[in-house]
Copies of this chain bind each other. A is one copy, B any other.
Amino acid sequence: MSDELSQVFAALADPTRRDLVSRLAAGDATLGELAAAYPMSLQAVAKHLRVLQDAGLITRGRDAQRRPAHLEAEVLDLMTKWLERYRRKAEERYRRLDGVLAELDESGHQLPDTTESQDPTKGMAS
């Protein structure tokens, strides 16, 4: 699954992890502080932080034996951009009812189009 976007989406596909992000948006916090808020072991929360870190959503500092977690906003940008691209396309298609004409035209040629004959699992939907 290794690619960047997949990792970020996967990281946020968990309520606990989204809640961690929401807390960190308010300010940095240590594992202990965070873990206290959840009905699970501290190690489990540590694993969640690890996932967020691998996805580039947080970084962890060092203050003696504390390792405060810090939210990084940049990666959220990445996702937002991806979403916006397709959200807008879909909305346009929805608004413009005359789009049906284009679609009727499109049903003429079986194989969708040109310029995309290589394996789509590589370099998909950038």
Interface residues of A (CB under 8 A from B): 1, 3, 5-7, 9-10, 12-16, 18-19, 21-29, 33, 36-39, 71-73, 76-77, 79-80, 82-87, 89-91, 93-94, 102-103, 106, 111-112, 116, 119-121, 124-125
B91 touching A73, Cβ below 8 Å? yes
B27 touching A102, Cβ below 8 Å? yes
Q: How many copies does the complex hold?
A: 2
Task: Report the bound CA distance from A73 to B91 in whole Å.
Answer: 6
Instruction: Tell me which residues across on chain B come within 8 A of A121, comparing CB atoms.
Output: 15-16, 19, 38-39
Task: Specify which of B13, B28, B33, B80 is in contact with A84 (CB 8 Å cutoff).
Answer: B80
Q: DSSP class of A's interface residues: helix, strand, loop or mixed?
A: helix
A86 touching B76, Cβ below 8 Å? yes
Task: Report the bound CA distance from A68 to B59 in whole Å.
Answer: 43
B102 touching A21, Cβ below 8 Å? no
Task: Specify which of B90, B119, B125 is in contact with A71 (CB 8 Å cutoff).
Answer: B90
A15 touching B10, Cβ below 8 Å? no
Task: Report the bound CA distance from A5 to B21 in whole Å.
Answer: 14
Q: Could you give 22 example pairs across A and B, Cβ below 8 Å?
A: A1-B14, A1-B15, A6-B14, A6-B18, A9-B10, A18-B124, A19-B120, A19-B125, A21-B125, A25-B93, A27-B93, A27-B106, A29-B112, A39-B121, A72-B90, A73-B87, A73-B90, A76-B83, A76-B87, A77-B87, A79-B79, A79-B83
